[in-house]
Structure 1
Amino acid sequence: MPEVAIVDACRRQGRGGSPTAVLDDANFTEDERRRIPTELGTSHAVFVRAVGAEHGRPLYALRFFTSEGELPACGHGTVAALALLAERDEVSDLDTVLRTASRSFEGRATRTREGVTAWFDPGTVSLRGTRAPELTAVAAGLGLAAEPLAGEARVASNGRPRMLLPVRSRTELAELAPDFALLRAACDRYGLLGCYVYSPPDRLGRAAARMFAPSIGVPEDIANANSTACLAAAHTTTGRPGNLTVDMGDHLGSPSTITATIERSHPEPRILVGGQAVITRTAVR
């Protein structure tokens, strides 16, 4: 009977966040892994396994599941896992290496009275322009006309491709009412994880976004850190500042915020993405 921590990841000013189930990995079947998010009322579950050390830092393997199956990556799930590790090890500052099926990467966390601030390296982001049929199909699923948009739509991937689609304002973003069956069909047809719709960042780099991913069993995500990293990468290619603060979850009654920061201390600038998190409860399944 494993103990499961429910972590609210990517909170905003001590509220909201995306509830995420985090537990030690064990000999679960694939069906059991898919059932856990549904049983616990979360969109995702993260399975954590200690596997030794790398470069003098503890190394943990992560696996991510929704009710539809396994994902190669999950940004807010990574934030949740880092928060649990920092709290469980009772360290002020956690510096660790995380491993998924495709890569190893750096993760950090800092504990405060309010909870944990965690951030990680989401990896290289690939970008391409959208093709007319996929843009038309996704926009129709969102209830939008493909033209005019507030800027160039892109397809971005740091694990699985998703569409980044700009709208003109936070108001237009809030008014979206997708047809999820139509949107899922479009995403399935063109091999997309989902669609990350965002309002233009203001002069301080603050934006709002909504992530729709019915193809993986998440009609709308409360927080999506990997897509925020993709947006930051897209903005660096246009000459705009890469640092972003993105508000999500308001439409679902759970305000969330993700930060994406360009770290320039390395030979090649890289993006670190993350947010605040807190363990809200534990459960035994």
Structure 2
Amino acid sequence: MSDVSEVEILRLSAFPAAPGGGNPAGVVLDARGLDEARMQRIAAEVGYSETVFAVDPVVHGDARHVRVRYFSPTAEVPFCGHATIALSVALAERLGTGPFRFATPAGEVEIATAPGSVAPEASFTSVEPSVRELPADAARELLDLLGVARDDLDPRWPLLEAFAGNAHPVVALRSGDVFDGLAFDPGALRALMDRAGWPGTVTVVRFPDGDSDDSGEARVEARNLFPVGEITEDPATGSAAAALGAYVRELRGASAPARLVVDQGRHVGRPSVLTVDIPPRGGITVSGTALPIG
């Protein structure tokens, strides 16, 4: 008998922009008694980019304080935004909307949930983010693997690494043709990501010509490359969206858009939308919902 058949697993799609959109996540609401090896086998059998496990669903007797772990089909990851949203929605449907707190391997993450038109809306506020330069050799290898020349980069937005739970290199392109035509060797990119300490995704983004509209909101399109198993690109990536918010704040400071609306998933046929709120300091907030699959 498979591990999956013995454990109750919810399957939800987080951040859908339309029916059939969003990023699938497995959700195990009670993973007490599951060891690391078994959780890894379950994540591999589920086959989604991540499955989240509530390894302690009632921390110190509080059902709204949950200790969680995240597994891709091949390895544990410190944090996963879309699985966090999926778990938040599932808990809100059972316990009622309101605040939650997740103890993750990346740190404590504050959750807010509220009633939505179809399903609860959820948001998480990331751990304290940071932004740093990419090592020159990793930057060169990354651009070579993506087939991107230095002239293809958007000069307003330099190549940097942003962290808001996971480390993500951020590659901003100025050409829509280059953005749409990305091609890469998944195995070679995975090897670079493992060496460079990028457990999440490589974030490739196109910014609008202006920084934001009169409301302080900017709409961007992102592709998040994630070679793991049969997957090569993520349809919606909450941790990358939070890191992107940190990246924008680092480069624009007080003039940063207060909100980014991130479109993702077009290239893999799963349209998604993530809302990113950027405060002057502290964690970045990412919002969306999740719907049952099937």
Relative to the length of structure 1, the TM-score reads: 0.88
Shift of 1:14: 4.8
Aligned to 1:140: 144
Residue deviations 1:60-85, cap 9 Å, x none?
11110011121111011100110110
Tell me, yes or no, if structure 1 residue 121 matches structure 2 residue 125. Answer: yes
Q: Which region of structure 1 is more displaced relative to structure 2, 74-83 or 181-190?
A: 181-190
> Aligned ranges for residues 215-226 of structure 1 at < 5 Å?
218-226=231-239
Aligned to 1:251: 267
Q: 1:50 aligns with which of 53, 57, 67?
A: 57
Aligned to 1:188: 194
> Aligned ranges for residues 25-174 of structure 1 at < 5 Å?
25-48=31-54, 49-52=56-59, 58-89=64-95, 91=96, 93-150=97-154, 151-174=157-180
2: CA distance, partners of 1:63 / 1:228: 20
Give the structure with the higher percent strand: 1
Tell me, yes or no, if structure 1 residue 272 matches structure 2 residue 285. Answer: yes
Corresponding letter in the other structure for 2:73: S
2: CA distance, partners of 1:188 / 1:181: 11
Could you say if the C-alpha distance between residues 257 and 52 of structure 1 is closer, same or farther in structure 2, counting changes exceeding 3 Å? Answer: same
Could you say if the C-alpha distance between residues 95 and 170 of structure 1 is closer, same or farther in structure 2, counting changes exceeding 3 Å? Answer: farther
Relative to the length of structure 2, the TM-score reads: 0.85
Q: Residue 51 of structure 1 contacts residue 60 of structure 1 at CA under 8 Å; is this kept in 2?
A: yes
2: CA distance, partners of 1:111 / 1:175: 39
Q: Residue 166 of structure 2 contacts residue 239 of structure 2 at CA under 8 Å; is this kept in 1?
A: no
Runs of 4+ in 1 over 3 A off after TM superposition: 201-204, 215-218
Could you list the runs of 5+ residues in structure 2 that have no partner in the other structure?
1-5
Shift of 1:29: 3.4
Could you say if the C-alpha distance between residues 272 and 257 of structure 1 is closer, same or farther in structure 2, counting changes exceeding 3 Å? Answer: same
Shift of 1:51: 2.5
Residue deviations 1:183-216, cap 9 Å, x none?
1222233222341111114534111111113268
Q: Which region of structure 1 is more displaced relative to structure 2, 107-116 or 215-224?
A: 215-224
Q: Residue 14 of structure 2 contacts residue 290 of structure 2 at CA under 8 Å; is this kept in 1?
A: yes
Could you say if the C-alpha distance between residues 215 and 133 of structure 1 is closer, same or farther in structure 2, counting changes exceeding 3 Å? Answer: farther
**Coordinate RMSD, CA, aligned:** 2.3
Corresponding letter in the other structure for 1:222: P
Could you list the runs of 5+ residues in structure 1 that have no partner in the other structure?
none
Corresponding letter in the other structure for 2:233: E
Corresponding letter in the other structure for 1:207: V
Aligned to 2:3: none
Aligned residues: 275
2: CA distance, partners of 1:224 / 1:158: 12
Could you say if the C-alpha distance between residues 171 and 277 of structure 1 is closer, same or farther in structure 2, counting changes exceeding 3 Å? Answer: farther
Tell me, yes or no, if structure 1 residue 19 matches structure 2 residue 35. Answer: no
Q: 2:224 aligns with which of 211, 231, 253?
A: 211
Q: Percent identity?
A: 29
Shift of 1:170: 4.1
1: CA distance, partners of 2:20 / 2:176: 20
Shift of 1:257: 1.1
SS where residue 82 of structure 1 aligns? helix
Q: Residue 122 of structure 1 contacts residue 272 of structure 1 at CA under 8 Å; is this kept in 2?
A: yes
